[in-house]
Chains A and B, each alone.
Chain A
Amino acid sequence: MAFDYYQYLRTENLPHIWCPGCGHGIVLKALLRAIDRLKLSKDELCLVSGIGCASRLPGYVDVNTLHTTHGRAIPFATGLKLVKPDLKVIITSGDGDAVAIGGNHFIHGCRRNLDITLIIFNNLIYGMTGGQQSPTTPMNRMSTTTPLGNPNDPFDFAELAKAAGATFVARSTTYHVRLLDRVIQQAIEHKGFSVVEVLEDCPTQYGRRNNLRTPAQMIARYKDLTVSVEAADKLPIEDIRGKLLVGVLHHVERSEFAERYDKIIEEARGASS
């Protein structure tokens, strides 16, 4: 039997606002499948977002949902998770939301290692606000604020997350859907700050300015641009040069913030009695 997505959706809020060909729907479906496989109850879940196309995702899902200000999903989620440690807190964020306006929160979120999952919908451009460059727009590409080609170096989310202290970092694309299912599930299961970057497509704002004619073409190019972590281990270096790794890129265990804080409470309470 086909998977019943509607059991998790607020159907009264559909149709969604995303453009035809947008990759966000693929990630939403992967997330719902992961939630289902993990048998998470709707009440124990909270989806948090900032601003932008990806930030509208929580509104469509029938769980606790919080749509915050631009770039601030991580600190909102931090306060919530600390006082409600039993909630599974998942953030859906865009590339600009997560590392431009929210960049400082991103690195400190990784550093603190609170048990939160951050899914970054990386479509390489600002979608909702009209196709301006984002911190991940590749060099020389076109956007409405780089009409002569992007002179900026892009960020690498995974490297940034790893360096800042995230304990689980994975990357997938809207082409690698089964991998996407798997890494979202692993990220939610992981105790600590987990980051999943999803390379996806924005035909409306990115594709039409950068000679990628169809959504299918945009998704398919991720097949050529990437190589899996497992395959990369066996391939000669010249075959993986210039390609992006997909899969689980970093996974370590480190004490989780809320648990560390529980010990502080215990100690302070001991000192006061």
Chain B
Amino acid sequence: MGWRESMVYSPGLRLMSGNEACAEAAIYAGCRFFGGYPITPSTEIAEILSFRLPQNGGHFIQMEDEIASIASVLGASLGGVKSLTATSGPGFSLMQENIGYGCIAEIPCVIIDVQRGGPSTGVPTGSSQGDIMQARWGTHGDHPSIALYPASVTECFELTVRAFNLAEHYRTPVILLSDEIIGHMREAFTMPVVGELKVYDRRRPRRDPDNYQPYEGDIPTISAFGEGYRFHVTGLYHDDSGFPTNDPTSIGRQERRIVRKVIKNRHDIIEYDGRFLDDAKVVVVAAGAVARSAIAAVKRARANGRKVGLFRLKTIWPFPQDEIEQLAANVDTFIVPEMNMGQLFEIVTMAAKGQAQIKRINRVDCEIITPSQIQRMIRESF
């Protein structure tokens, strides 16, 4: 019996927090290993999975720190099991070296970062959006990044499933950025029935073990340890066989390939929620908790007859720069409200290429940016 048939999972209407939805979604997506270290405000994900995973024949292990957590996740994934960890800013920082390892060694896994106020220990119970750049550039060297950002409990579920699908499909770590507000707020939400959302599993090699090249092709197939393929995994640059190499041609080729597999497929990966964009002169660009205020502000401004649109990012990385560039040709102003000092603002500015004015609203006191704050700036922009 496969894991889908034997799954202990009850669909239906629930009142649930974002973190709870992430945990249930992991079960739904087929995740059967969680290695983690408790950190506010992500802890509920670990707590729920410590019971829900064994119920589904999976393993939960509380590791000694975040470095060990992500390492155990990579090890479990190489054992052929979909694997997850959840953390917040300080823990996310500790994981970065091994996230890079996951990128170069092409190991599917999901990292949920429920952002809190920072830097450093910051405000553990306060919300922020300060890890947007960390999700892209946290580890060293050049590497692909996929980061998704939900704005509701329903989306916590959907995008966690999607994060696993993308990780499995592109054979790379995928980050789910959440924030304290999204993680802890509760909403009525219908857990989907099995089969309603697509769930992908990694592509396994079909050729005979003697000819298996674990890093051959644009997105290589991946075997699990112990299934007869006997391959080598390393964080060193390697050739198609997986063994270390110092050959410049081989190094350059592997590096470009791992970046390309994400960039080339960005239109498959990028999702956004565009509203009232057709005739908009002012467009609010937002994600996560702040996007909820942005929706309210845009709707109110529309009711007052202003041509305002919303571009809500569901994929943060790769950043939808083509879409923003095209929009920029037709709008006068972008407004970028975010709970940090301007991380999205900078990339929107780069993507707009001088074609539109970019305004910013930044809040770093762990309080949410309100609809009226955004509305005020919308008014000032006409």
Contacts and interface: CB of A to CB of B under 8 A. Distances in A.
Interface of A: 10, 13, 42-44, 46, 48, 58-59, 62-69, 72, 74-84, 86-87, 104-105, 108, 261, 264-265, 267-269, 271-272
A66 B54 contact: no
B76 A66 contact: no
A65 B55 contact: no
Contacts of A271: 55
12 contacts: A66-B233, A67-B233, A67-B234, A72-B71, A75-B71, A76-B72, A76-B75, A79-B72, A81-B75, A82-B76, A83-B33, A86-B226
B55 A272 contact: yes
Q: Nearest 7 pairs between A and B by C-beta?
A: A79-B75, A79-B72, A79-B76, A75-B71, A75-B68, A268-B54, A80-B75
B68, B75, B228: residue with the most chain A Cβ atoms closer than 10 Å: B75
Contacts of B65: 104
Contacts of B83: 79
A269 B57 contact: yes
Contacts of A79: 33, 35, 61, 71-77, 79, 83
Interface of B: 8, 32-33, 35, 51, 54-55, 57-59, 61, 63-65, 67-69, 71-81, 83, 97-98, 101, 224-236, 243-244
Contact of A82 (B61, B225, B229, B230): B61
A83 B234 contact: no
A70 B55 CA distance: 34
B59 A261 contact: yes
Contacts of A86: 226
A77 B75 CA distance: 6
Given A75-B71, A269-B54, 13 more contacts: A66-B225, A66-B234, A67-B233, A74-B68, A75-B69, A80-B76, A82-B72, A83-B33, A83-B59, A87-B226, A105-B64, A265-B59, A269-B55
Contact of A65 (B71, B228, B232): B232
A42 B81 CA distance: 21
Contacts of B77: 79
A87 B229 CA distance: 13
A13 B243 contact: yes
A84 B224 contact: yes
Contacts of B236: 67
A165 B8 CA distance: 35
B71 A68 contact: yes
A269 B53 CA distance: 10
A75 B59 CA distance: 14
A63, A66, A265, A269: residue with the most chain B Cβ atoms closer than 10 Å: A66
Contact of A44 (B67, B68, B72, B226): B226
A80 B98 contact: no
B132 to A, nearest CB: 25
B107 to A, nearest CB: 10
Contact of B68 (A48, A72, A82): A72
B226 A82 contact: no
Given A64-B225, A108-B68, A78 B230 contact: no
Given A76-B74, A269-B54, A271-B55, A69 B98 contact: yes
Contacts of A43: 226-228, 230
A83 B225 CA distance: 10
B91 to A, nearest CB: 14
Given A46-B225, A87-B226, A265-B54, A65 B233 contact: yes
